[in-house]
Amino acid sequence: MKLHRQILISFAGILLAVLLLYQFVAWQLARQAAEDQLLEDAEHIRGVLMSMRRVYHHAFMEAGLELDEKTLPLLPAFAMTRIADELKNFDNTGFSFNNVSDRARNHHNQADAEELKAIAFFRENPKAERYTASITDADGRAKLFYARPIWVEPYCLKCHGNPEDAPASIRARYRGAYGYKVGDLRGVLSIKLPKEQINAHAWQGFRWQLLISLSIFLGAGALLVWQLQRDLARPLASISAAAQRLAAGDLAARAQPKSTIDEVQAVAESFNRMAASLDASRNALVTSEARLRTTLSSIGDAVISTDTAGRVEFMNPVAEALTGWSQAEAMGRPIAEVFRIVNEQTGDAMENPVARVLREGIVVGLANHTVLLRRDGERTPIADAGAPIRDARGQVSGVVLVFRDVTRERLAQKKLAESEARYRLLAEHGRDCITFERPGGGFSYLSPAARSIFGLTAEEIEADAQRLIERMAAGDRQQWLDHLVHPEHPTQGMELRFYRPDGELVWIEHDCEPVYQDGHYLGRRGAFRDITARKRAEAEVERLAYHDALTGLPNRRELVERLARELATLPRQKALAALILIDLSGFKRLNEARGEAFGNRVLIAVAERLQHSLREGDLVARSYGDEFALLLTALDDHVEVATKQIANVLAKLQRAIALPLVLDGDEISLAVCFGITHLPATAHDDAEAALRRADTALHRAKAKGPGEFAFYEEAMSEAARLRFELEKELRRALASQELRLYLQSQVDGTGRIVGAEVLLRWQHPERGVVPPGQFVPIAEESKLIVELGAWVLTEACRLMRRLLDEGRLLRLSVNLSARQFRQPGFERWLMDLVEAHGADPALLTLEITESLAIDDFAVTVGRMNALRTTGLHFSLDDFGTGYSSLAYLKRLPISELKIDKSFILDAPHDADDAALVDTILAVARQLKLRVVAEGVETALHAAFLDSKGEIVRQGYHYGKPLPVEEWLAAWK
């Protein structure tokens, strides 16, 4: 189940539970309030009844009537009983009241069971004022029973005191209910109220509260659904879609969610950084693999590489010949299927060395008697080893299997087993040194190859085997001694290092196995093999991992490791060092104009000049692209002196680079920028921090211009912080509606407005209007330019729709950034935007730069053609400042050229700029393109253009950029 649905269900459950609990409590409170109200009403009724009884009593007494059969019904108690009975004829709700007693003279006044309980209660609790209880009457109706005590008062004794004192009519009529004294409980006033009235009164107040509560809860639920859909569901869907595209192999996929939840935005940005990193890593990997394949295809041994699952990734031609599989057929297959080996003696399948290398992460040599089964069934004995391929973290990322055909060696071994003579003959002519070890140690035989391998004769080693151990590399001696301790164990692929008498280091591989006869151990036969050439090849492969394939210089990986070592040792050396990053000024344009092959030759030449300018102990590396790095070591420990030393090196480098470079008959002038940082900067300085500092300094130098240099200063970090703050505020500005559209007029030769260029301004709440030169470069670097461009295009379409509704036609020109133009799906997005606002695409012109146009030319033209089908136009901005040729220009689907203002500003008094303007106009006329001249600041500029034909003009002479509303008001 999707996250937003789970959240909705959870919140709905919580809201429903809260609502039910709230309504339950509200209902109980409403019922309690209704019940309290009824009890209060009962109190009022009791007051009325008791008041009426007292009034009856006084009226009867004051009348002076004799108590007889005729006046008896006028007694208060008697009258109250008749009133209670009569009430039933006027009230059908079930309400009733009566005076009742446990010694009633009238059966109508006899207390029932619940009333008897009340009487008993008041006798036990004489201070109690009332008694209430929930009862059910004979008809099954629920009622609230309310009782108040009736205490005997002095006037009551006339009829209920001493029988002898009672009137004759009372004595004659009633035999009981005498003997009461003042203060005795005579009975209770019983009031019974139907509970339906409680529920009815409770419902009257509760139903409105219920409706209000339901409305509030439903509104809150709807708001929650909307909020989750906008800020969680849709952004997560955007991220999910981008992730699926990335998983499908589209490394250009990027997430573009719009959410007010910072965490969601952070996830999207992290995803985009990850996708960009993957894309860069893939490109680097492709380049690295190409170099490695070329190297491995050139060596004499067979080479197969696998991934961590043991599947074939690469085979060189020798491996293809030995296995019978082509690389295309073997790719992705398990190594055990392509590289099938069996024991030559038993025919049993042998463990593939790749499996062991992957399992143990060590270099594994093939065992003796290993036979490779070709695809067609032919058998080829082979030898050599498999080694792990490790990534930058030291983790095994695959296996390289290096082997060769040892058919001759195996044949020699077989023949040696047939006869001692033939064995010795073959051994003396073999490349390997064949040996036989005595049971007690030492050698009884070594073949003559011992001399070519060890530089010692067989006789010298047989006479004193200790000489072999003495010439063994110290790190390998323990391995050899352990080998001697267990002579009964066979050894395969033991690698040892020896120093020949001339000092040359050789790598030796040793195999041996015990020999038994009739169960008795005779010794070990074995062989020493010179594997120096193979080890050198492996070292070359390792070297390639730390060096740039194009220039041969150390690469960035080697630079970082060397930098880390230098920083670790500087505190003990009492010296300083420096890191210099070097950037080739203008190389990108040169590379685009002359091609990658030409650019590579320039890089190689620069690398050679840098190497020749090095001091002893210094390091020059190629960082990436056209950037080099120089590590200066052993500088004076005084900063001032060290800085002078650095300046001397920079001067030498500048002189070397400045020398004209002649390639293909062309003389090329080169210039570089330097970014320098001292080492160490802090007590805990590290390589990455040093590179960041040097990069910051290089950016400052590049900003100053070609041939400049800059030392890192803390102020640069402050500048970087200010740029970060401005970027953060710019992100806020997008959401806070601080951006403003401005328009600058484009007029014809008569001064009539024929269009306007849409410009962007930032109305900062504290800084005021921020010029585009301050925030647009930041937006370009942070990718905010895409959002800014989308905002400008959206507002421009909205303005076009507004003008159309007002019956006014105005051509608008909008600058388009390269990053926005290359966004996946940009064409469809723009078409939908224009259509959604009902704008006329024929009135919209998109301005692109020359660099954008010629970069990935085929793709760019395809996108432009797709947009041209809608009717909108393209303009080539700042024409004449780039490197576009006429061949490119005539293939671009543009309808307009914009002459850069740098040509217009000086054209009236500079013949060269005037000639350039004439040339551009001639090109435009030839290609039938509209021309817009920027930078028409004065009447002199306007007069210059008057004689050049139909040219649209733009500049302060015709009006400065104004906010949209001000510009429209002036246009009216």
CATH number for the domain harbouring residue 186 = 3.30.450
Q: How confident is the model at residue 857 (pLDDT cuts 50, 70, 90)?
A: confident
Q: pLDDT tens-digit profile of 359-382?
A: 888 888 876 778 899 999 898 888
Span of 197-206, 523-532, 848-857 with lowest mean pLDDT: 197-206
341 and 432: one domain?
A: no
pTM over 0.75: no
Q: pLDDT tens-digit profile of 13-23?
A: 787 787 778 77
Residue 284, SS3? helix
DSSP secondary structure, 627-659, as one string? EEEEEEEEE-SSHHHHHHHHHHHHHHHHHHHHS
Q: How confident is the model at residue 713 (pLDDT cuts 50, 70, 90)?
A: confident
Comparing C-alpha atoms, which of 291, 63, 49 is closest to residue 188? 49
566 and 615: one domain?
A: yes
Span of 100-109, 167-176, 674-683, 796-805 with lowest mean pLDDT: 167-176
What's the CATH code of the domain at 573?
3.30.70.270
Q: What percent of the chain has pLDDT over 70?
A: 86
pLDDT of residue 761 exceeding 90: yes
Q: What is the mean pLDDT of the segment spanning 227-233?
A: 71
Q: Tell me, what's the pLDDT at 881?
A: 62
Q: Tell me, what's the pLDDT at 521?
A: 87
Q: pLDDT tens-digit profile of 579-630?
A: 999 999 888 878 877 788 888 999 999 999 999 988 888 999 998 888 999 9
866 and 741: one domain?
A: yes
pLDDT of residue 484 exceeding 70: yes
Q: What is the mean pLDDT of the segment spanning 764-783?
A: 82
What's the CATH code of the domain at 464?
3.30.450.20
394 and 504: one domain?
A: no
pLDDT of residue 695 exceeding 60: yes
pLDDT of residue 573 exceeding 70: yes
Cα separation, 728 vs 541, in Å, equals 46
- 900 vs 210, more confident: 900
What's the CATH code of the domain at 842?
3.20.20.450
Q: How confident is the model at residue 259 (pLDDT cuts 50, 70, 90)?
A: low
Rounded to the nearest integer, the mean pLDDT of the chain is 84
504 and 599: one domain?
A: no
Say if 824 falls within a structural domain: yes
592 and 526: one domain?
A: no
140 and 107: one domain?
A: yes
**Residues of the domain holding 472:** 409-538
Q: Tokens in use for 647?
A: 């300046």
Comparing C-alpha atoms, which of 383, 503, 466 is closest to residue 431? 383
- Residue 421 burial by Cβ neighbours in a 10 Å radius (0-12, 13-18, 19+): exposed
Determine how β-strand 131-136 pairs with β-strand 364-365.
unpaired
Last residue of a domain, one of 202, 227, 257: 202
Sign of CA dihedral 373, 378, 381, 384: negative
- 774 vs 264, more confident: 774
866 and 802: one domain?
A: yes
524 and 630: one domain?
A: no
Which residues are bridge partners to 676 per DSSP? 580, 711
Cα separation, 380 vs 372, in Å, equals 5
754 and 703: one domain?
A: no
Number of domains in the chain: 5
Q: Cβ distance 403 to 372 under 8 Å?
A: yes
Most confident of 112-121, 136-145, 413-422, 960-969: 960-969
Last residue of a domain, one of 538, 570, 586: 538
Q: pLDDT tens-digit profile of 783-809?
A: 788 999 999 999 999 999 999 999 999
Last residue of a domain, one of 386, 405, 424: 405
Q: Tell me, what's the pLDDT at 760?
A: 94
Say if 887 falls within a structural domain: yes
Q: How confident is the model at residue 832 (pLDDT cuts 50, 70, 90)?
A: very high
603 and 678: one domain?
A: yes
Q: Tell me, what's the pLDDT at 795?
A: 96
Sign of CA dihedral 769, 773, 778, 780: positive
Q: What is the mean pLDDT of the segment spanning 154-164?
A: 83
Say if 261 falls within a structural domain: no
- 872 vs 157, more confident: 872
742 and 841: one domain?
A: yes
Cα separation, 794 vs 820, in Å, equals 13
Q: How confident is the model at residue 933 (pLDDT cuts 50, 70, 90)?
A: very high
Q: How confident is the model at residue 883 (pLDDT cuts 50, 70, 90)?
A: very low
Q: What is the mean pLDDT of the segment spanning 910-914?
A: 85
Span of 74-88, 502-516, 723-737 with lowest mean pLDDT: 74-88
Say if 757 falls within a structural domain: yes
Residue identified by tokens 């030498």 is: 652
Torsion of CA 691, 694, 698, 699, to 10 degrees: 70
Say if 60 falls within a structural domain: yes
pLDDT of residue 721 exceeding 80: no
